[in-house]
């Protein structure tokens, strides 16, 4: 009953936000770099900070939850979502965004108690990698259903792991999963009602990074980063490609593999988003249900993913070039 009530509340909140967004013209207008052709509501991802408030409120009223345990996480989440929503509305420089992302990640690290279990020399690297994860979700949020479906797959995978390891409160995973499910109702379709916006892609990425961090700290295993390997592979290789071409990596573009499939090859957004989610499901099953050491599993999965990605992208580019 709890989750039915929460899902209904998120659905109602979304409908109210749509009315506000339409009134104040918080919309995404298509341009030549866009993967859509209609004016669409922007910022539908505000459901993530909203559902966190519901999580804290419900826990305080009905579960006797220690909400102060989530003060650090909530502070980081709202800092990140606030600056991201401003960026959705008016645009901010990459330097400003990075400053606030750095602040938010520091809150996240204190929340998962990384400072107590991680070498002081590795913390700067971990901070940079976490900021990279946040921006990878932002970069990959370009077609209908992509980030909503990918986030749902990741959160369900983390929930399955939590069932056996109990590394965090199950509600802390299921609440953002419900928010993703409601968002997908409006986004996972041929003509989306709304897009996540930076507020959504950054918000859900921050939440997933926090849960994954809790899991890594609890188990001492790094293999859980592979739950984000599909997004990581596409993001890293696309950034390398753009740097090689001398492009600004923070500017809009159409060089991701999923963009080539959706825009140049003409595959539907639904099919491309589903394919990305399916590949991540297969990797997650391997990570969760096989007992292989980090030293073997991580390099093997990353190498296979990298070679497969580069081969497919080369073939797609070749086909596009021949067609033109």
pLDDT digits 0-9 by tens, 3-40: 999 999 999 999 999 999 999 999 887 655 555 557 78
Provide the number of structural domains found in the chain.
Answer: 1
Tokens read off for 299: 């390099």
Q: Of 316, 310, 311, whose CA–CA distance to 265 is shortest?
A: 316
The pLDDT of residue 276 is 98
Low-confidence ranges of the chain (pLDDT < 70): 30-37, 63-68, 115-118
Q: Of 148, 145, 127, 175, whose CA–CA distance to 271 is shortest?
A: 145
HSE (CB half, 13 Å, CA atoms) of 270? 9
The pLDDT of residue 92 is 92
Tokens read off for 9: 């509340």
Domain that residue 76 falls in = 2-323
The pLDDT of residue 15 is 97
Q: What is the DSSP letter of 194?
A: B
Q: What is the DSSP letter of 41?
A: E
What pTM value is reported for the model?
0.94
Q: What DSSP element (H or E) covers 27?
A: strand 27-28
Burial 223-240 (b: 16+ CB within 10 A, else e): bbbbbbbbbbbbbebbbe
Rounded Cα gap, residues 95 and 229, in angstroms = 26
The pLDDT of residue 211 is 97
- The sign of the dihedral angle between the CA atoms of 235, 138, 35, 149 is positive
The pLDDT of residue 66 is 52
The pLDDT of residue 121 is 72
Q: Of 158, 199, 202, whose CA–CA distance to 177 is shortest?
A: 158
Q: Of 111, 208, 219, 210, whose CA–CA distance to 165 is shortest?
A: 219
159: number of Cβ within 10 Å: 16
Q: Residues 151, 204: contact at Cβ < 8 Å?
A: yes
125 Cβ partners below 8 Å, 6+ apart?
none
């Amino acid at each position: 009953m709890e989750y039915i009530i929460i899902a209904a509340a998120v659905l109602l909140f979304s409908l109210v936000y749509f009315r506000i967004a339409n009134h104040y013209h918080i919309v995404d207008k298509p341009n030549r770099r866009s993967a859509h052709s209609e004016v669409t509501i922007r910022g539908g991802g505000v459901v993530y900070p909203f559902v966190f408030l519901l999580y804290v409120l419900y826990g305080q009223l009905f579960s006797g939850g220690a909400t102060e345990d989530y003060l650090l996480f909530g502070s980081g989440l709202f800092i990140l979502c606030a600056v991201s929503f401003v960026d959705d509305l008016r645009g901010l420089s990459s330097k400003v965004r990075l400053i606030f992302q750095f602040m938010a990640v520091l809150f996240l690290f204190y929340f998962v108690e990384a400072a107590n279990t991680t070498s002081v020399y590795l913390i700067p690297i971990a901070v940079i990698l976490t900021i990279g994860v946040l921006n990878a979700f932002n970069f990959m949020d370009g077609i209908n259903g992509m980030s909503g479906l990918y986030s749902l797959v990741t959160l369900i995978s983390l929930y399955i792991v939590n069932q056996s390891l109990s590394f965090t409160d199950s509600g802390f995973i299921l609440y953002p999963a419900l928010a993703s499910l409601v968002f997908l109702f409006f986004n996972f379709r041929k003509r989306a009602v709304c897009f996540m916006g930076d507020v959504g892609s950054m918000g859900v990425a921050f939440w997933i990074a926090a849960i994954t961090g809790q899991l890594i700290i609890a188990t001492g295993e790094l293999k859980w980063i592979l739950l984000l390997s599909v997004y990581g592979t596409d993001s890293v290789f696309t950034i390398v490609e753009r740097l090689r071409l001398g492009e600004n990596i923070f500017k809009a573009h159409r060089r991701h593999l999923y963009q080539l499939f959706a825009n140049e090859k003409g595959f539907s957004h639904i099919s491309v988003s589903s394919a990305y989610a399916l590949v991540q499901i297969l990797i997650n099953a391997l990570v969760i249900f096989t007992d292989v050491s980090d030293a073997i599993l991580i390099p093997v999965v990353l190498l296979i993913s990298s070679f497969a990605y580069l081969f497919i992208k080369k073939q797609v580019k070749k086909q596009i070039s021949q067609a033109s």
